[in-house]
Amino acid sequence: DVKVTQSSRYLVKRTGEKVFLECVQDMDHENMFWYRQDPGLGLRLIYFSYDVKMKEKGDIPEGYSVSREKKERFSLILESASTNQTSMYLCASSLVAVNQPQHFGDGTRLSIL
């Protein structure tokens, strides 16, 4: 089975801090994604990556950056955390072929105080 592991289940940080969320997948998937999930809004794509060192902006990239130095690892960075970035963050991976499912981690619930 595909396993997508997010480094923290819960995280509390302060406004202005630089925050790193880490995600690792073990199935050699080309694609990796970062979403945030807020009640009633579903999942909104922040950034995705289709290969090492490649990244593309999603629908809501402002205030975030990403890093993919190795195929299995995709990091989300909040450059200067703000309270409106309090949310559930989900990482996913998939094969590049069309109509392939995305496999999700269990999420990181991030609170910015």
Partner 1 sequence: TQLLEQSPKFLSIQEGENLTVYCNSSSVFSSLQWYRQEPGEGPVLLVTVVTGGEVKKLKRLTFQFGDARKDSSLHITAAQPGDTGLYLCAGANAGNMLTFGGGTRLMVKP
Q: Give the residues lining the site for partner 1 (CB under 8 A).
A: 4, 9, 31, 35, 40-45, 48, 50, 59, 90, 92, 94-107
- The C-alpha atoms of residue 110 and residue 11 are separated, in whole angstroms, by 5
Between 43 and 77, CB nearer to partner 1: 43
Between 78 and 107, CB nearer to partner 1: 107
- The C-alpha atoms of residue 58 and residue 46 are separated, in whole angstroms, by 5
Contact 74, 68 (CB under 8 A): yes
Find the shortest distance in angstroms from Cβ 77 to partner 1: 20
Residue 95: C-alpha distances to residues 13, 52, 77, 92, 98 (Å):
33, 14, 24, 11, 8
Between 80 and 105, CB nearer to partner 1: 105
Find the shortest distance in angstroms from Cβ 80 to partner 1: 26
Find the shortest distance in angstroms from Cβ 95 to partner 1: 8
